[in-house]
Structure 1
Amino acid sequence: MNVKESSNFILHAKSNEFYWEGDGQLSIKTFSNGKALYKTDRGFFAVEENRYLLLNEGPYTIGIEEKQDVESFCMFFGDGFAEEVFRTMDTSTNDLLTDPYKKAEPLYFFERTYEMSPSLAGQINTLKRHHKQLDANWHEEQFHRIIQILISEQLTTVREVESIQALRKSTRVELYQRVTTAHEYIRAFFTEPLQLADIAKVSYLSPNHLLRTYAQVFGLTPHQHISALRIEKAKKLLANFDLNMTDIAFEIGFLNSVSFSKMFKQHMGMSPLHYRKKVILDKKYD
């Protein structure tokens, strides 16, 4: 894959095992029925259903290792495409008419995983359903719509950056990038026995500095984020009646079912067993 590829294109595939390493262009990665793990020079990114990974051009690796086939749908944007679209969104009509072919300034996106918004999900699903049937002009229009949504949604990220307490903009941007490195590391490895010192080391911040900034940006501490992710995964696993409590405890990073049950009850107000019974009743009367 060529970093300076001039065209937009799609990669749509299914696999339960996959590995690739190389240079890629500006792109968004989406997956269903499983997850993929990416690594760039900024850290690790786990991409699951209902989220997408936004990467600038540059080197990365991807790995998929699941029991079932994972469906990937990734969109790659040609060199200069995002910049030109942004210029038409950010420049006055008069200036666009005066100099319609002026070279756009380089555009940088914040690399991280994002929750899929309804507008982006709808646009991607439309492209996913029809990309093999319709013509090149239709494809190009979809890419324009998708990059416009991505650029607009970056404004939310800019507001998160501005919420960080630092005088200089460059300092706020650097802090945000480091704390999101920690955030993505937690998302990728929350089932492992993560320690605050390890997370801080990955983000090149002191533990105390990480705690303060993390809570500022995300509204919760790293420990609270780990617990929330574990609870969400536990709820999904509890719906699989073939798994016992020990299996589930190991799957989400606990050494025994007692610790798991204590944590689950603390957050959910009921034991895992009680929650499973509730799931059974809900299915029975659904």
Structure 2
Amino acid sequence: MNVKESSNFILHAKSNEFYWEGNGQLSIKTFSNGRALYKTNRGFFAVEENRYLLLNEGPYTIGIEEKQDVESFCMFFGDGFAEDVYRTMDASTNELLTDPYKKASPLYFFERTYTTSPLLDGQINTLKRHHKQLDACWHEEQFHQIMQTLIVEQSTTLREIESLQALRKSTRDELFHRVTTAHEYIRAFFAEPLKLADIARIACLSPNHLLRSYAQVYGKTPHQHISELRIQKAKKLLANFELNMTDIAFEIGFSNPVSFSKMFKQHIGMSPLHYRKKVILDKKSD
């Protein structure tokens, strides 16, 4: 991938350890059975199942370190492909008929991880299942459909940007980029001890400015988001009966099981032990 590509292509692989650094095309990254950590000029991005990362053309690194094989399915879009698709969605029919091959203006996506919508999930899974069997024309149709979906779903991001209190569009865009940098950093490192000042420094914002802007975009504070992610991971780990409470506490960023138990009960309404017993009873009743 160090050689500049000009066409659409797919990388589909499995590995529990992987590292790559270089320049990449506009691309969408998806993973299952684990997660991958990316780093770009904008910050860090953790990509796990049911989410995807959208990256513009440019330099990045990727690292995978898991106990089991992680399945990656990544789509790379050729030069000008997104622009051509967007033009057919935005220009009038008369314009498209008059000059069907007009060079479109550069198109840039908001680099971040996104929750995979049911529509996009279905499109990607269809391509994943059949991309080695069906012909080139079918492949190109899938790339067009997926790009259309990506462009339409960017409207959600535009609505999030509008929630920020800034007069100029350029100011709102830059503030949104910085807030999402903090958001993605939290997603990538929530299992480590994080301080508001450190997160704000990553986003190049003052702590108070980050706090206010983060709540405007996401409806929660950074600490609330960290707790939410820790709870989600704790629930998964509690279903693994081989792990004790100390192991789980360390795994999600707590220095001792007492702090973990207190946080868990505060959010779930029961202790981790009671939650584990409930999981066991639920499995027996199935």
Alignment of 1:112-151 (within 5 A): 112-151=112-151
Which residue pairs with 1:241 in the alignment? Answer: 241
Which amino acid letter does the alignment assign opposite residue 26 of structure 1?
Answer: L
Which amino acid letter does the alignment assign opposite residue 59 of structure 1?
Answer: P
Which residue pairs with 2:250 in the alignment? Answer: 250
- C-alpha separation between the residues in 1 aligned to 2:70 and 2:92? 44
- C-alpha separation between the residues in 2 aligned to 1:247 and 1:18? 26
Change (3 A) 1:3 1:266: farther
Q: Secondary structure at the match of 1:158?
A: helix
Which residue pairs with 2:162 in the alignment? Answer: 162
Alignment of 1:163-242 (within 5 A): 163-242=163-242
Q: CA deviation at 1:63?
A: 0.3
Q: CA deviation at 1:3?
A: 7.1
Which residue pairs with 2:16 in the alignment? Answer: 16
Q: Secondary structure at the match of 1:12?
A: strand
- C-alpha separation between the residues in 1 aligned to 2:85 and 2:242? 50
- C-alpha separation between the residues in 2 aligned to 1:79 and 1:164? 32
Q: Secondary structure at the match of 2:177?
A: helix
Structure 1 contact 33–70 (Cα < 8 Å) conserved: yes
Residue segments in structure 1 that go unaligned for 5+ positions in a row: none
- C-alpha separation between the residues in 1 aligned to 2:193 and 2:6? 43
Q: Secondary structure at the match of 2:45?
A: strand
CA RMSD of superposed structures (Å): 0.7
Alignment of 1:58-77 (within 5 A): 58-77=58-77
Which residue pairs with 2:90 in the alignment? Answer: 90
Q: Secondary structure at the match of 2:248?
A: helix
Change (3 A) 1:190 1:79: same
Q: Secondary structure at the match of 2:241?
A: coil
- C-alpha separation between the residues in 2 aligned to 1:43 and 1:54? 13
Which amino acid letter does the alignment assign opposite residue 263 of structure 2?
Answer: M
Between the two proteins, the alignment pairs up a number of residues equal to: 286
Structure 1 contact 215–221 (Cα < 8 Å) conserved: yes
Which amino acid letter does the alignment assign opposite residue 17 of structure 2?
Answer: E
Q: CA deviation at 1:54?
A: 0.2
- C-alpha separation between the residues in 2 aligned to 1:242 and 1:155? 44
Query: Cα deviations across residues 179-206 of structure 1 (Å, max 9, x unaligned)?
Result: 0000000000000000000000000000
- C-alpha separation between the residues in 2 aligned to 1:29 and 1:101? 29
Q: Secondary structure at the match of 2:105?
A: coil
Q: What stretches of structure 1 move > 3 A for 4+ residues in a row?
A: none
Residue segments in structure 2 that go unaligned for 5+ positions in a row: none
- TM score, norm. by length of structure 2: 0.99
Q: CA deviation at 1:94?
A: 1.0
- C-alpha separation between the residues in 2 aligned to 1:2 and 1:25? 10
Which amino acid letter does the alignment assign opposite residue 141 of structure 2?
Answer: E
Q: CA deviation at 1:36?
A: 0.3
- C-alpha separation between the residues in 2 aligned to 1:136 and 1:162? 40
- C-alpha separation between the residues in 2 aligned to 1:112 and 1:265? 32
Which residue pairs with 1:50 in the alignment? Answer: 50
- C-alpha separation between the residues in 2 aligned to 1:221 and 1:228? 11
